[in-house]
Amino acid sequence: MADCELCGVARPTLCPVKVKAPGVLSAYPAGTWRGINLECLNICHEANMQRVPIKAKKCDLCSSKNVPLFQVKVPVPIFQEPYHRETIKAICESCFEACEDTIKRREAEKEESHHH
Ligand SMILES: [Zn+2]
Ligand SMILES: [Zn+2]
């Protein structure tokens, strides 16, 4: 099991998203992997369509500062009714693109498995 880096929900498998984290960009210029679950991947995809700006200090996925950020509403689990709370996260444009890449890659993989 691994925890989603956005909402914290544990899943057997996460969707790897390649982000350009500024802190380690010199060590990993091609980007580093963040794991988010499928729910969050879809939420990011929808948020990318809407692009609602949000004022935040940094991107919640790659920690980029001083970049335009957009709001993403993720349901974070809590231990009482209704068992999740909508939490607003801030995601940068480059992470949105990374999410789109992951979605495209997943779709390509799905195509592959249909042929076999
Ligand atoms: Zn998540
Ligand atoms: Zn980011």
For residue 58, the ligand closest to its alpha carbon is: 2
pTM for this predicted structure: 0.90
20-29 confidence digits (pLDDT tens):
998 888 898 8
Q: Which domain holds residue 32?
A: 2-115
Which residue has 């498998």 as its token pair?
A: 13
For residue 19, the ligand closest to its alpha carbon is: 2
Number of domains in the chain: 1
Residue ranges near ligand 1 (ion) with Cβ within 5 Å: 4, 6-7, 37, 40
Q: Which residues of the chain have pLDDT under 50?
A: none
pLDDT, residue 65, reads: 95
What are φ and ψ of residue 111, in 5° steps? -55, -50
Q: Which helix H or strand E contains 46, and what residues bound it?
A: helix 38-50
pLDDT, residue 98, reads: 97
92-106 confidence digits (pLDDT tens):
999 999 999 999 999
pLDDT, residue 28, reads: 87
pLDDT, residue 116, reads: 65
* Cα-to-centroid distance, 114 and ligand 2 (Å): 33
